[in-house]
Amino acid sequence: MGSFLQIKIYRGKFIAYTVFVVTLGLALGILTCAILLYQWIENARTEAVSAFARIENELQYDADRIEAYMQRIYSNNRLMTDARYFLGNSAEGYLTNRLKNSQFNEPLVSFPDDMKAFLYSSGQGDITQISLHTASRGNAVRFDSSGNDSFAFRLPNTDETFRETIQKGFVYRKKLSDPNQISRQIGEFRFLISSEQLFKKINSYKLDTAAAVSASGEVYMILGGNRHAGKLVLQAADDGRTSGYLSLGGLKSTYFMTFSSTKFDFRFVVLVDLPMLMRQNTGIIAAVLFIILMAMISVLLIIVYNLRDDARFLQRIIYSIKRVKTADFTSNSPARYRRNEYGMIARELDDMVLQLDKHIRTEYLLKLKQQETEMQALQHQINPHFLYNTLEAIRSTALVNRDVDTADAIATLGALYRDIVKKENIISIGSELELLQKYLKIMELKYPGRFYYQLNVDEALWNVFTVKFWMQPLAENFFVHGFDPGNEFNLLVVNGWETDQRFVLEFVDNGKGISRERLDEVKRNLSRRDDAPVKSIGLRNVYTRLHFFYGEGFSMGVDNNEEAGVKITVTIAKE
């Protein structure tokens, strides 16, 4: 390790890699813990949803039983009569009326006993109190945890027995109507569904803290109650969100979930203590962090191994360069090379030392590199020029139209430049036509109703290879020199066809045309091989690039049309 750390470039690399690996490891650790925490919270949410669904189902079950019992009362005249005796009477009055109006040949019907048999047993003990009220008083039947009943008669409706609070439970009200005159209400049933009996059915669910909050702000702690839990439950209920985080100060926080009941006016609140959740899963978190730490150490060891070998190859490269400087072209013992960039460079340097005497290969490589550089330089001269003209067209369109045309122009320009950047330098004529069409669409937006174009190119030419982005300068030449803003019909047509020996592309417009002197000058400039500056740089660049690519099998002609405008003909030999 000490050898490569003595080299400045590798020492800097090692420090950068170490910082990167540690940062990445910390980020992965935090992300993994966040994902695990999210999964644990989702598990708690699933439990909370199941628990709330259980509560709602129990309330619905009790409501259905109550509705069924009301139907039972209305369908049984003797039961209805006994309920009316029970309504508003004292215990003595109730019993006296029952005996007074009973028939010796019929068994006595007991409204309280019937209620107990039908509601308490079937309702699994949730309904712990049933009261029947007049306008001012009520008689109640209560059931304890063992199912034993007790009675209270003629209590005021304001009595503590009838006070509705979530600590006692939920009151289900049903009016008692006169069976002979259904619109006449003679009393009211109140069925108390006990909170204790109802909520103890979710004790088996894995919940940290659970509570029910009434509309008035009363809290009934179901699970995990402590001196701070009630305040947190109220804070969660008043938050307005169905779930989220509550800060407890510092880095401590808790996650809450609230569910609104569709049966009664209360909310079911579940709190998840995040610090406790992390402590409960300390083993999993420690295992994840240990795996990430081991991965970081392994990556750093691999980096050290690679940097050490790269340093050795760098020394080999420097040695090969010194041999070249001293003209030492004798064969050298081959080194063990790795299959990476440094190994490739070292190997190539050794080969270069052995092959420097082959002048023809060297000259070919230099010429090929020179042609590639010239082609790139020519293309770079065109692209900025096109960018400035196109942006000016977009700006003009925006100032004049102030509508969606500007957005279309920008979108087309973006697509055009994306294709220019992504496509290789060597593409098909079909792809080049797509680039040209995007440019012409932009010009249609600049000159709405005054410019039209047609592309009539046979499919035989679409797959022919060519260099990228040479058709646009030819089209741009029309807009710079031949376009007539006063003419309502400016046309550019691109024709393409195949003959036995060549492919032909023709660019025809109906513009202003070129004078004879200027036309002769353009033709002379196209055939020049020097680097002297010329006026028609666009045509010259296109000609030079295509000539580099196709060689002597390429030609370009520029002529005036007989009617109007200019015709540029590009001919490509098939061989």
193-230 pLDDT, tens digit per residue, is 999 888 988 988 988 899 999 988 899 999 887 767 88
Q: How confident is the model at residue 384 (pLDDT cuts 50, 70, 90)?
A: low
> Mean pLDDT, to the nearest integer, of 438-456?
88
Going by C-alpha positions, the residue among 295, 344, 348, 283 that lies closest to residue 320 is 348
Give pLDDT tens digits for 339-351.
666 667 767 777 7
| Amino acid 362: pLDDT | 47
Q: How confident is the model at residue 364 (pLDDT cuts 50, 70, 90)?
A: very low
Do residues 335 and 346 make contact, with C-beta atoms less than 8 angstroms apart?
yes
Between 246 and 396, residue with greater pLDDT: 246
Indicate whether this model's pTM tops 0.75: no
| Amino acid 263: pLDDT | 86
Segment among 266-270, 297-301, 388-392, 395-399 with least mean pLDDT? 388-392
Segment among 39-53, 88-102, 277-291 with least mean pLDDT? 88-102
Q: How confident is the model at residue 365 (pLDDT cuts 50, 70, 90)?
A: very low
Count the Cβ atoms, other than its own, within 10 Å of residue 88: 20
| Amino acid 541: pLDDT | 83
| Amino acid 76: pLDDT | 87
> Is the pLDDT score of 416 beyond 50?
yes
In the chain, pLDDT over 70 holds for what percent of residues?
80
Instruction: List, in sequence order, the alpha helices (H) in 240-340.
Output: 274-280, 282-325
Q: How confident is the model at residue 571 (pLDDT cuts 50, 70, 90)?
A: very high
Average predicted confidence (pLDDT) for the chain:
82
| Amino acid 280: pLDDT | 84
Do residues 541 and 480 make contact, with C-beta atoms less than 8 angstroms apart?
no
Distance CA 116, CA 123 (A): 10
Segment among 87-101, 107-121, 173-187 with least mean pLDDT? 107-121
Between 160 and 375, residue with greater pLDDT: 160
> Is the pLDDT score of 137 beyond 90?
yes
Output b/e per residue, 385-406; b: 16+ Cβ within 10 A: bbeebbeebbeebeeeeeeebb
Q: Which CATH class is domain 364-573?
A: alpha beta
Q: How confident is the model at residue 370 (pLDDT cuts 50, 70, 90)?
A: low
Distance CA 55, CA 265 (A): 13
Q: How confident is the model at residue 360 (pLDDT cuts 50, 70, 90)?
A: very low
Amino acid at 244: G
> Is the pLDDT score of 368 beyond 60?
no
Q: Residue ranges per domain, the chain? A: 76-199, 364-573
- Secondary element (H or E) of residue 183: strand 181-194
> Is the pLDDT score of 171 beyond 70?
yes
Structure tokens at 334: 């081959």
Q: Are strands 169-178 and 243-247 parallel, antiparallel or unpaired?
A: unpaired
Question: Collapsing DSSP states into helix, strand and coil, what is residue 485?
Answer: coil
| Amino acid 403: pLDDT | 61
> Is the pLDDT score of 126 beyond 50?
yes
Residue with tokens 């088996």: 204
> Is the pLDDT score of 5 beyond 90?
no
Q: Is 169 left (phi over 0), alpha (psi -120 to 50) or beta?
A: left
CA angle in degrees (0–180, nearest 5) for 338-342-344: 70
> Is the pLDDT score of 373 beyond 70?
no
> Is the pLDDT score of 568 beyond 80?
yes
CA angle in degrees (0–180, nearest 5) for 382-386-391: 155
